[in-house]
Each structure stands twice: as structure tokens, then as C-alpha cells.
Structure 1
């Protein structure tokens, strides 16, 4: 699995993440993104992450 995280604004609450994982193999894009959102549910719910841009792909 490869993960690249970038703070888009320097404020620590707007992020762009790119994830490449064998876990995504055969999954539609929406399901890949749902897995990422689920992993970050806490920070998204409490406002620590205000904006999240996601890029995912399988191996």
C-alpha cells in the first residue's frame, strides 16, 4: 500500500490523499473512496479534516 498526503492550504485541515492498495482491486471507485472515508471518519466528524480530496487506485 502506498499513501501520499498533502496539506493543500498549510492550515492542517484541507488535505489531498492518494492511496494505491491491493485492497482496492476489483472495487468501483466509489467503494474505494468509501474505504478511505471510513478510515478517516473520526477526524472528518470532529472537523479536524475540513476538506478531503481523494485519489485511489488498485495495484
Structure 2
């Protein structure tokens, strides 16, 4: 079995953080606020990456 790629690991990390920040906000925040939270947490990330992660998560 292959080891997960760096891209896959990063996507999983981002999705976990998105779920945490969204849950912490009582599911009120959308991508602009989640983006600000992720950047505040030290992530270097684009708005489109956050939006696509949120879309995948539903």
C-alpha cells in the first residue's frame, strides 16, 4: 500500500481545521471568516482552497 501524498495529508489537515473552526462558530461562519481563522492559525492558504474544502465537507 502506498503512503499518502503530501497533497492528501495537507487536504485532510485543512478539512479537519475547517470542521473545527466551523463547529467552534456554531456553524455560522462561511469561507471568508474560516479563511481568516486559518491564516490566523498560521496556514498559508487561498480563498478558493478554503471554499473547495467547505464544499467537499458539505
- TM-score normalised by length of structure 2: 0.41
**Structure showing the higher strand proportion among its residues:** 1
Structure having greater relative contact order (Cα 8 Å, sep ≥ 6) = 1
- TM-score normalised by length of structure 1: 0.41
**Structure showing the higher helix proportion among its residues:** 2
